[in-house]
Amino acid sequence: MIRSQTVKEILDHYRVIWALGHAQALMGWDSETYMPEEGVKGRAAARAEIAQLIQRFMLDEKFVKLLDKAEEERDLTDVERGIVRVLKRDLRFYTRVPPEVVKELAKVTSEAFVAWRGAKEKARFDLFAPYLEKIVELSRVVAEKLGYEEHPYDALLDLYEEGLTSRDVESIFSTLEPGIRSLLNKLEARGWPRSHPLEEAPYDRPALEAAIAEVLDLLGYPRGRFRVDVSPHPFTIGIATPYDVRITVRYRGVDFREPLFSALHEYGHALYELNVAEELAMTPVGTGVSLGVHESQSRFVENVVGRSREFIQRISPILRRRLPLLSKYGDEDLFYYFNLVRPSLIRTEADEVTYNLHILLRYRLERLMITGEVKVSQLPELWNSEMERLLGVKPRNDAEGVLQDVHWSHGSIGYFPTYTLGNVVAAMIYYKHGNVRGLVSEGNFAAVKEYLREKIHRWGSVYPPKELLRRSFGEAYNAGYLVKYLEEKYR
């Protein structure tokens, strides 16, 4: 796989950087699962030091020269070119963003997560605002240092989705917003279900945990490389792709649909990491290529597969055996319960139809924050008014509104548009494959996973997102597929 002696030397040096990233991932997972709250004092300092150490290894003069040398070589394989491309992108960040900014960002985000968690519990944005102000300030510095052609927000978008610009995002939403509004009007006129008694039904947590484990087992997962834990905000993390991938879910005690589909969503993310070609392990291209492509895998499993009638027929016997509360509900009841459509307050609980309007709100606010057109102190009021305008609902407090997402506490500004990108690509995959529902009906999940592995997973980060999509599906971001998918499903 690696023929170039120069690239072999690059990978020898990179192994230490990978190991430090492995430690960061493990500490990040622990911070959101088992770490005692006051442990943040030591954890923040340790992660900041490791972040600086990674930067030091990236900026090693010999390493930089090796990358420059490899970039000039003409006979590199696709994998070798991918390694050089990914590392040059990382190097661009580290050479342009000062070490003190990297260290300060690592420190403030470690503290900000704990502050966000406390602020959300008390529904008080003012407890989190000082941390967010600092994060926005540092994000502006990062954007300016990285550079951009049209808008500072583009520099931040590119951190999460290589090559994505505001123009791309605007193009996507120019198709989605009118399409979604039109569909919502049709569904309201036809009386598509907006609520279901199971939303308020309490469940036995151990029974649901057992049901979720059985559903995941039905889909097929490598037990020795995968685990499920609990956290305030569900997430997936590749500790050592593809050997150690972990997900979390949350349990609120009512509405069993939420943890079930959180598990399916995160399993889609995990499946991507678990299926990266093993020969790419511990290299710069040994993980998912971008957040948008990653999100397409989670949305594909959660929505395209998980909310389909065919999948419900497969898992309903498991659910009824584990959850006695379902004894009086048929598969058609479950279908409508899993596919309710109504404007709602919480993004993670939003249905397929309205979900992307939640992302549109966050995208617009982030752009305005980065340019300074909106101050952090104005966010709660602006959030509430825009929610009412876009979705016709208004948060009763900050926990239901501006504090509901963890992302800003992580410093992840520019991240949210990748969620909509994921929905777009998931719909593209559905139509490009052509027989997903047939395979799910047969219970042939292995064939579905093999298609995803061949088209997306096994390549890791070898190709940039747009190139990977064009190679596998003939085009990049086409929001028309998502509008078509929603119209056909809810017709």
Q: Any known ligand binding at 295? A: yes
Q: Which residue has the tokens 């948008």?
A: 292
Please determine, for residue 266, whether its predicted confidence score (pLDDT) is greater than 80.
Answer: yes
Please compute the mean of the pLDDT values over residues 77-91 and round it to a whole number: 96
Spatial distance between the Cα atoms of 132 and 252, rounded to a whole number of angstroms: 27
pLDDT in tens, 331-353: 999 999 999 999 999 998 899 99
Cis, peptide link before residue 242, omega less than 30° from 0: yes
Q: Does the annotation mark 37 as catalytic?
A: no
Please determine, for residue 151, whether its predicted confidence score (pLDDT) is greater than 80.
Answer: yes
pLDDT in tens, 436-445: 999 999 999 9
pLDDT of amino acid 1:
77
pLDDT in tens, 239-254: 999 999 999 999 999 9
Task: Concatenate the DSSP letters of all residues of 192-243 into one string.
Answer: -----GGGG-B--HHHHHHHHHHHHHHH---GGGEEEEE-SS--EEEEETTT
What residues form DSSP beta bridges with 248? 229
The full set of domain ranges for the chain reads 1-96, 166-489
Task: Concatenate the DSSP letters of all residues of 378-427 into one string.
Answer: GHHHHHHHHHHHHHS---SSTTTTTTS-SGGGGT-TT-THHHHHHHHHHH
In the structure encoding, which two tokens stand for residue 38, read together?
A: 């006051």
Q: Any known ligand binding at 457? A: no
pTM for the model? 0.91
Spatial distance between the Cα atoms of 408 and 109, rounded to a whole number of angstroms: 9
In the structure encoding, which two tokens stand for residue 272, read together?
A: 């991507």
pLDDT in tens, 352-403: 999 999 999 999 999 999 999 999 999 999 999 999 999 999 999 999 999 9
Spatial distance between the Cα atoms of 275 and 469, rounded to a whole number of angstroms: 17
pLDDT in tens, 304-324: 999 999 999 999 999 999 999
3-state class (DSSP) for residue 19:
helix
Tell me which of 3.40.50.920, 3.40.50.150, 1.10.1370.30, 3.40.50.1980 is the CATH number of domain 166-489: 1.10.1370.30
In the structure encoding, which two tokens stand for residue 202, read together?
A: 């309490």
- Name the catalytic one among 266, 302, 366, 386: 266
Q: Any known ligand binding at 400? A: no
Please determine, for residue 103, whether its predicted confidence score (pLDDT) is greater than 90.
Answer: no
- Please, are residues 430 and 304 in contact by the beta-carbon 8 Å criterion? yes
Please compute the mean of the pLDDT values over residues 227-236 and round it to a whole number: 92
